Structure 1
Amino acid sequence: MDWIVHYPALRHLHMGLAFTSGALFALRGAAVLTRQRWPLHPVLGRVSAIIDTGLLAAALRLLWELRLNPLLTPWLQVKLAVLPLYIVLGMLALKYARRREAKALCYIGALACYGFMVSVALTHSPWGLFASWDD
């Protein structure tokens, strides 16, 4: 069967997993900042890992099906450059930063990275939400 038939479902799966991953991080991060312990429960960590693995698998399948080379596609380069920063800031916010102020700064930074990556994906511009300033 032609892959284009499955493209909308694959795209929506990727977007849904991206939303779910971001929402779960935002919820867990806010709870950590209010000194609750449930966000660090191992089950939530596993659920988050499963969602993120599905998100990565859907992204790789989209790259394959659309024949996109991240090294030649500027907006994908930006997403891939910001992704490690989002991951590190998220880890610091949820677990590794010792002081609450540091956790809060990392949480805000991670949310900003997430929002920027979403805007880059929606605009297909490396400038993301700042794309209109690029003119």
Structure 2
Amino acid sequence: MDYETVRLVHQSAVLVSVAGFAVRGAASLSGAAWVHGRIARSLPHLIDTVLFASALVLIGLRDGEQLRETWLLVKLLALLAYIGLGGITLRRGLPRMLRKGAFAGALVTVAWMASVAITKNPQGFLAW
């Protein structure tokens, strides 16, 4: 596969993953039981596997040159924050206000990550 095709797969997986999280997060906050069902818990792992694999292929197609770029390191660190906030959002038993704050934080974080990826600037939309 060529770089542009893999990038399209990666970008599509990002959109599906984030949309799925947004739907699951909103449903979880509204008390929907399906959020904790097998399919709702398993499908994101499949999508995120495609996302991660496509990221590795993109790096490989560029001979790892992106690994030296600050914007990518910043984006990967933000990914850890997004995963943590997403986990808090979907965890049962935590206070609803904490989960709502984590949900908002996760969505802002992923929007900022996208702006970093688009601009190749570690500040992303914060630079505006």
Off by >2 Å, runs of 4+ in structure 1 = 67-71
Q: 2:51: which partner in 1?
A: 55
Gaps of 5+ in 1: none
Deviation at 1:94, TM superposition (A): 0.6
Q: 1:77 aligns with which of 58, 73, 79?
A: 73
Gaps of 5+ in 2: none
- Cα pair distance change 1:56/1:82, threshold 3 Å: same
Q: 2:104: which partner in 1?
A: 108
Q: 2:86: which partner in 1?
A: 90
CA distance in 1, matches of 2:93, 2:3: 40
Q: 2:114 aligns with which of 100, 104, 118?
A: 118
- RMSD of equivalent CA atoms: 1.4
| Aligned positions of 1:12-23 closer than 5 A | 12-23=8-19
Deviation at 1:45, TM superposition (A): 1.4
- Cα pair distance change 1:48/1:128, threshold 3 Å: same
Contact conserved, 2:59 with 2:67, CA < 8 A, in 1?
Answer: no
Using structure 2 for the length normalisation, give the TM-score.
Answer: 0.93
CA distance in 2, matches of 1:12, 1:45: 25
Q: 1:127: which partner in 2?
A: 123
Instruction: State percent identity of aligned pairs.
Output: 35
CA distance in 1, matches of 2:127, 2:6: 26
Deviation at 1:109, TM superposition (A): 0.8
| Matched position secondary structure for 2:122 | coil
Contact conserved, 1:97 with 1:103, CA < 8 A, in 2?
Answer: no
CA distance in 1, matches of 2:75, 2:36: 27
- Cα pair distance change 1:64/1:7, threshold 3 Å: same
Cα deviation, 1:67-124, whole Å, max 9, x if unaligned, reads: 2345520110110111111001101101156111111011011111111111111111
Contact conserved, 2:28 with 2:35, CA < 8 A, in 1?
Answer: yes
Q: State how many pairs are aligned.
A: 128
